Every structure is written in C-alpha cells, then in structure tokens.
Amino acid sequence: MATRLKLCDSITLIAFLGLACGSALAQFTGSIQGTVQDPSNAAVATAKVILVSTATGVTATAVSDASGNYRFVSLAPGAYRVTVEATGFSKAQVEITLLTEQNLILRSKIRQWRSCPSSAATWSRW
C-alpha cells in the first residue's frame, strides 16, 4: 500500500512539473508574421522568407502564400534578421528585435529587379 501511494505521488509530481515547465516555456515565445507585396501593393506569392537568429545563427524558412502572407511561431525573444527573396525582385532585409510574447507584424514591399537593381525595399511594422 505504501509503495502504491509513493507511485501515485511520483506520477502526480511528474505531471505537475511537466505542466509547470510547459507553461514557463510558453511565456517566453513570440511570433513574426508578415506580408510580401510589390510597389503596387499586390501580394507576392512564393517569396522565400528567411529568419535568422543573430545570437545563435539558427535559421528558419517560410514561403509566402497566395496572399503574400508568412508566419514564424514559437520564437525565443531576441534579435533576428529577416530576408525576403522572390524571383524577379530585389532582395530585402531587415534587422528586428522580438520581445517576450510579442506578435510582430511586418510588411515588406519589394521592387522588381529591373526597376531597382540594388537591395532596396521598404519595411513597416504594425
């Protein structure tokens, strides 16, 4: 009987610690989402969006959908570099800082390569 009681106490303790750790981790995440557009505000589909943590070098990649939207979730707070690449457009890059529990929204306007051969683009945050 005492062994069975200790086993139940151990299982309860493990379950509690699992929930506590999961909750603690969830408190320290944020997300980055955005839209890729051309200068006329039209969506740029299938743009490659590369997210790099400048502290760790860890990289994540997303592809914009038909509406130009992309999203990165469950990110640790810190400094990141966001790069957008699309065929026929100039490459755009921005450095940002993500705060704890922040949902950072970016809109990038990339220019067609022939009209702007340099790496020019505009970014805005909401």
Give pLDDT tens digits for 95-126.
999 999 999 999 999 988 764 444 455 656 55
Q: How confident is the model at residue 66 (pLDDT cuts 50, 70, 90)?
A: very high
Of 35, 62, 52, 53, nearest to 122 (Cα)?
35
Buried b / exposed e along 99-110 (16+ C-beta atoms within 10 A): eeeeebebebbb
> What pTM did the predictor assign?
0.71
Contact assessment for residue 51 and residue 80, using Cβ atoms and an 8 Å cutoff: yes
Of 70, 63, 71, nearest to 87 (Cα)?
63
Residue 39 or 28, more confident: 39
Give pLDDT tens digits for 31-65.
999 999 999 999 999 999 999 999 999 999 999 99
Q: Which domains does the chain have, with CATH numbers?
A: 29-125 (2.60.40.10)
The DSSP bridge partners found for residue 33 are 71, 105
